[in-house]
Every structure is written in structure tokens, then in C-alpha cells.
Chain A
Amino acid sequence: MLSKNIIRTLSYIIIGVGLLCSILGILALFFYIRLGDIFLFTKTSLLVSSVIIGSAGVITFFNPKYFKGATKKKMIGLIITSIIIALVCLMMFTSLNENFYFSLRDYKIDAAVRGLFLIPLLFIILGITIAICGVKIRYEFTKESDEKSAFLLLGISTTVVLYSLGIIIMYIVVNGAGAITWEFLTENPRKLGTEGGIFPCIIGTLYLVIGAIVVALPLGMGTAIFLTEYQKEGKITKTIRVAVNSLSGVPSIVFGLFGLALFVPVFGVSLLSGSMILGFMILPTIIRTTEESLKAVPMGFREGSLALGATKWQTIKKVVLPPAMPGCITGTILGIGRAAGETAPIMWTAVVFFGGDIPTTVFDPVMALPYHLLELTKLIGYKDVAGNAWGTALVLLMLVLSINVFAVALRNHYKKKMRW
């Protein structure tokens, strides 16, 4: 019988091989790395590891006391897994290598596709399975081994999530950074956005956001104050809450339709229509965050103020609102972040792609970053706009993300400060 130390070292090697294979698979899947010689190495090492795992399973099957938590049932599972892995690896050595056609209805996935997609995917799955088997052997099939392998899977999914979100941000930053120059930020777009900059779009987005705040802040704060300070929980508050919840569930394109039907006939395609629509859209965010921060103000503050003879309104103005203000501002900033990035609500109500200058009155149409990006994206492949599109995407992303970072930082700062 092998000593425990050797078994441990072997199991660590197996875990390493499994994870390495799946990482190589991911790299091949996303970056078109031809596996080549690595391909031979990975499938050989997978085959060897599966043989080791299988033999460990067979040995333990006849001598279940070798591992602490081993049972015959678990060993059968292990042996079957290792056989499947070994078979798949062998298949990669022979038939899948040259002329194995995988027919998915009428999509003939040919050799190139296999190299790009199927084989990397197989490597990822097989690698993870091998790694889990290694973990199970390392912890001798006890409860602990279940826990470790489950945590390994959870960790892998977290990595995938962070990786896929991170890679999107990274791509935009890397590709967009090249397009951003002083001229790009300060000039008007020319020739359908292929030349020039995005200055009017930035200004237009700022105007729209300011307009949205002017509409939404008084309404939102008023609603929140009414709900928390004036009205006892009952039918009225319930109705208002249902309305606020429904408003937050309305898809952004429906806001666009609404604006098209109600505001455009009256105000035309203008800054005013767009601001009102965006304001309505961010209303629920502002109401919710303000309400939360109002509720966080202790009852004793209000009672103290009222006991001194102050009226309700005086109490709200002088005592309740000041400590609730940071929360309210956070909500507003989050709302700004959302309003700045939305395209669908303003598409037909406020923005134009060209000819839009910096508006002089609220009845003028504006240009906006998200809509500009949409139009540029539609032109990709017909005109040379890719560079400007990446630049616009980066500016928009940075604008929205920095607004959100600021809001969250503000919230955390005041959360620490306000303890009673």
C-alpha cells in the first residue's frame, strides 16, 4: 500500500493538472489560442490522471478502509467517472482528431470549429471533474471532501462571473483609451461621427440628467416624506407603494413610448420631454433611498423636537431632513447614473444623431452619449467609426461608473459617521 504522503502529493498534482487544463481551455475558448503542442500535453496528462484516479478507486473498492470516508458506492462512482474521462481523452487521440464531424442539425461543426470551441469546452469540463476527484481523494471521501469540492465549484463560478464582467470593462478601457484625445472630447462630430468628437453629446447628457433631477428630486423627496412622516401605514400608503413599485418595473422602452404619445405632441422632440421622461424613470430609486434614510432617523429626534413646541413641518425641516440628506443624495446620484446611461426612453423624445448643437432653450433637441453610441454601433461595418465608438463607450462607461462609485462611497462614509 502506498503511504498517505505519496497519495496526498499525487492528489495535489491531479488537482493542479485539472485546474491547469480548464484554465488552458478557457484561454483557448476566449482568445483563439491554438492549442497545438499544449493540446497533446493536456490530453495526455488528463488521461494519466484519470488512470491514477481509476486505479485508486479499484484498490479502495476491494479495501474500503484505505480511505477514511470511502464506501463501495462512492468508489463505483469514482471508477465510472474515471472511465468516462479516459474514454473521452482516447477519443480525442483518435477519432476527434482529424475527421470527426459533429452535426448539429445543419451546422457542420468542422475541424476549425472543434479546435475553437468543442475541444476547449471539453477540456474545461474534464479539468474541473478531475480537480474535484483530486480534492475528494485528498480529503479521503469524508464530509470534508464534499465540502471542499463544493466550495471549489462555487469558487470557480465566482471566478467566471468576475472574469466575464472584468473582461468587458477591460476591453472597453483598452480599446477606448486609444481614441480619447483632447479633440475627441471638445469637438463636434463631423461626417456621421467618423470624424470629430463628442462634445455636444457630453453636454447634452449632462443637460438631460440635470433636467431629470429637477423633475424627480422634489417629487421623490415629497413622496418619501409623506410616506414616512405624515401618513400612518394604511390603504393610502399601500396604494402609493404599489404605484412606485410598478413604476420601477416599467421597461425603459415603454417610457419611451409614453413620452412619444404624451410629451412629443406638446413639447416636440426636446430637452424638456426627455428630462421629464428620465425624471419619471428615476423617481422610484429616489423615493426608496430617501424613505430608507428617513426611517433610519431615530424616533427620539422627532419627539424631542415636538416636545420643544416645534410644529411637524419645522421638525421635518430642521431635525429629520438634515441627517437623512446623505441617503437622499445617494439615491439621487444612483438615479443620475441610471438616467445618464439610458437610451430607449430618449430615443424618440429628446435626441438627434446629427445637426444637434448645444441647446439654447429647453425646447431644442439635444445629442446624448448613449444614443450617439447606438447610432455609431449601427454604422460599424459600413463606415469607419469603430475608434470613435470605442471612445464614446469608454466615456459613457467612465461617466456612469464614477457616478456610481461616488454614490456608494458617500453612502459608506455617512453610514460610518451616523451612529446613534
Chain B
Amino acid sequence: MCLVNQHSGFHSLKNGLLKLVLKHLRKKLLRKNYNQTGGFRLKHKIFYSFFRKNLIIMKMRNIKESLVKILFFLTAVSSIIIVFFIFAFLIKEGSPAFMDVGILEFVTGMKWHAPADIYGILPLIVVSLLITFGAMVFAVGLGVPTAIFLSEVAPNRVKIILKPAVEMLAGVPSIVYGFIGMVLLVGYLGPTFDMLTGRSILAGSILLGIMALPTVVSVSEDAISVVPTEFKEGSLALGATKWQTIKTVTFPAAFSGIAAAVILGMGRAIGETMAVLLVVGNICKIPIPFFDYFETGQPLTAKIAGEMGEAGRGSLQYHALFGVGVTLLIIVFILNLIAEVVMTRLKKKWGGV
């Protein structure tokens, strides 16, 4: 009886109100804090708020937590800052060349003659593209069939050994490839095709093709193996042979992934320095006719690597070499952007599976 009396009237009203307020608070805090804190701090907050000492502990904890979060945020922003700085400093150092020579003359100029301060980089761009195209012909022609073989035909035991082995070879430093190309490839091509030294766009293409092979093989293999098994099983169940399945189902489904792999490989090949520096030669000209792979030439990267050592800091040559760097960076970024778009479309396509 007594208990009932106590709970009726004023007391019960007070308790009810408190409960309401707490409920409201709980909901509001839940919504606000759940995502940041996992939602579990809230109970403590309400509980401890009746004890001041613990509240202070809570606050200290909160401060520490947010400090840690800010720290992680700062590290995460660092990569944005680095990319921004790379662009900013390259453009800053390259802009005098663009200003002095004129952007259009710089990009379309046919002649690079440092002593006379004539800077045109069209030959460099053309040779870079030629080498990249040749390298891709080698890398795709051999790499994609290899990827299909590894993922669809080879027995599992072979695949387990070969795939890591091929991936391992992607780590071989480019200077080692350059050295091998200089000693073996150039020495072989010279007498075989009756060239003066054997240094040629062809040598660069072959070398970069071999360099890009591991990347193309392993990324294409990944693209093929993400094609859902149901597709293949469906085709096989309809009576198609393994090869028909590969030809009509697996390969078309993996095509965009393979394309992205190839474009990524192109980005790598065009930015590759050390190998081409040693085997392509250092004469800045467009071969005549422009598809003559037996001529020597000089790609963008080799120009920078070859001349930066002797260019005085602050001279026009120094700035022009930075201008070459800016051009290279822009080409690579366009290629990467295309690869990214292709990849995103691929993800959308297989997103549901």
C-alpha cells in the first residue's frame, strides 16, 4: 500500500518525466554518436553523469580519442598533400619553359637543341608512344594467352607454382632489365638487323614488353578468375567445350578487366626510365617513316634522365626538362584515368555477384 502511495502523485510524475527525458537524450545521442564511437560510450555517459569524477575521466578519454582521430586524419591527408606538391612543384619549375618557348611551340616543336635554347618535344612524345605501342603488342600478345592458360587450362598444381613465380618477376628492378637489354638484346639486334649499334625503338619495345609481361599476366589472370563460376558452368552444361566457353563466355566477360590491365601496363611502360635510357639511344628525332622501329630515338623519360645531370639549375634547359616531366605526368594521368573508368564500370557490372 505504502509503496503504491509513494509511486503515485508527484513521485511518479517526476520519475516519468525523467524517463522521458532520458529516452529522448538517449535517442538523440545514439543518432549523433553511434557512428563515431560505436554507440557504446553513450550508456556510460548517461550512467556516469551522476558521478562527477567519472565524468572527468570520460572527458579525458574523449579528448584522447579525438586527438588520435585528428592524428590519423592528418596522416591520411598527407598523400593528398604529396600529390598536390608534386603537381605544384613540377608546374612551377616547368612553367618558365612554357612561358619562354610557348606551350604550343614546346609541344609541337620538332627540334631539341639545348645550346641554342630550342626546345620542342614532339619527337620525344612520338617515340614514347611508339615504344609503348610496341611494348604492348609484345606484352598483350604473349601475356593474355598466358593468363588464360594459367587460369583456365593449367592444372591447379602448376598454377600454384607459376602464378607467384610470375608475380615475383614483376619486382625485378628496371635497371637490371636495362643492363640485360644493353648487354644481350642490343648486342643481338645489331648484327641481326645490320644496324649500327642495335640501339633502336624495337629494342626498347621488346625490353619494355618483357618488363610489362608479369604485370599484364597477373592482372589479366585476376580479371579472368573473378568471372563468376556460374557463367562457365552454365555454358559447360549447355554442352560447350572448355575452349568454346573461354572464347564466348569467359573472355568477353573478363575483357574490360584485361583492358584495364593493359592500360595500366601502358602507364607503367610510358613512365619507365632506366631500361629505355640504355637501349633506345639518345638522338632526339622522329623516325622516317614514323613507324620505322629500327631507328634510334629518344623517349620523354630518357630525355629527362639523360640531360638533367648536365643542365644547370635555373637554366632554360632545366626548366624545359621539367616541362617534359609535366607532359609525361599528364599523359600518364590520362591513361590512369581511363583505366580507372574501365575498372569502375567493371565493378558496376559484377557488383551484384
* Complex Cα spacing A143 to B328, Å: 48
Complex interface: stretch among A46-54, A144-152, A324-332: A144-152
* Complex Cα spacing A160 to B183, Å: 21
Which residues does A use to contact B, with CB under 8 Å?
A: 104-105, 107-110, 112-113, 116-117, 143-144, 146-147, 150-151, 153-155, 157-158, 160-162, 164-165, 168-169, 171-172, 218-219, 221-223, 225-227, 229-232, 239-240, 243-247, 249-258, 260-262, 280, 283-284, 287, 302-303, 306-307, 309, 311-313, 315, 334, 337-338, 340-344, 347-348, 370, 373-374, 377-378, 380, 386, 389, 393, 396-397, 400-401, 403-405, 408
* Contact (Cβ within 8 A) A144 B171: no
* Complex Cα spacing A354 to B137, Å: 40
Q: Which residues from B are CB-within-8-Å of A154?
A: 145-146, 148-149, 153
**Total number of A-B contacts with CB less than 8 angstroms?**
281
Partner of A396, one of B41, B153, B176, B271: B176
Listed by A's residue number, 8 A-B pairs whose Cβ atoms lie within 8 Å are A154-B153, A165-B213, A251-B301, A257-B90, A280-B82, A377-B182, A389-B179, A403-B171
* Complex Cα spacing A6 to B86, Å: 70
Q: How far is the CB of A104 from chain B (nearest CB, A)?
A: 8
**Are A341 and B176 CB-contacts (below 8 A) given A154-B148, A161-B213, A404-B171?**
yes
* Contact (Cβ within 8 A) A113 B142: no
**Are A251 and B329 CB-contacts (below 8 A) given A146-B241, A239-B80, A380-B182?**
yes
* Complex Cα spacing A261 to B88, Å: 10
Closest-by-CB residue of A relative to B278 is A377
- Is B25 in the interface zone, CB < 8 Å from A? no
* Contact (Cβ within 8 A) B173 A400: yes
* Contact (Cβ within 8 A) B75 A222: yes
Task: Give chain B's interface secondary structure class.
Answer: helix
- Is B255 in the interface zone, CB < 8 Å from A? no
Complex interface: stretch among B3-11, B107-115, B186-194: B186-194
* Complex Cα spacing A258 to B267, Å: 19
* Complex Cα spacing A315 to B78, Å: 24
Q: Other CB < 8 Å A-B pairs besides A250-B332, A396-B173, 10 of them?
A: A117-B192, A150-B246, A157-B142, A165-B210, A222-B76, A253-B271, A338-B171, A373-B176, A373-B179, A377-B182
* Contact (Cβ within 8 A) B241 A258: no
* 8 Å CB interface, B267-307 against A: 267, 270-274, 278, 292, 294, 301, 304-305
* Contact (Cβ within 8 A) B73 A226: yes
Closest-by-CB residue of A relative to B267 is A249
| Interface-centre pick from B74, B169, B171 (highest chain A CB count, 10 A) | B171
Task: Give chain A's interface secondary structure class.
Answer: helix
Partner of B308, one of A287, A311, A348, A401: A348
The interface bits of chain B over 227-262 (1 if a CB of A lies within 8 angstroms of the residue's CB, else 0) are 000000000000001111011000000000000000
- Is B166 in the interface zone, CB < 8 Å from A? yes
Q: How far is the CB of A80 from chain B (nearest CB, A)?
A: 23
* Complex Cα spacing A257 to B191, Å: 37
Q: Which residues from A are CB-within-8-Å of B195?
A: 107
* Complex Cα spacing A125 to B65, Å: 68
* Contact (Cβ within 8 A) B83 A261: no
* Contact (Cβ within 8 A) B171 A243: no
The interface bits of chain B over 76-102 (1 if a CB of A lies within 8 angstroms of the residue's CB, else 0) are 111110110110011011000000000
The interface bits of chain B over 312-353 (1 if a CB of A lies within 8 angstroms of the residue's CB, else 0) are 000000000110010011001100100010000000000000
Partner of B168, one of A105, A143, A162, A405: A405
- Is B178 in the interface zone, CB < 8 Å from A? yes
Closest-by-CB residue of B relative to A370 is B175
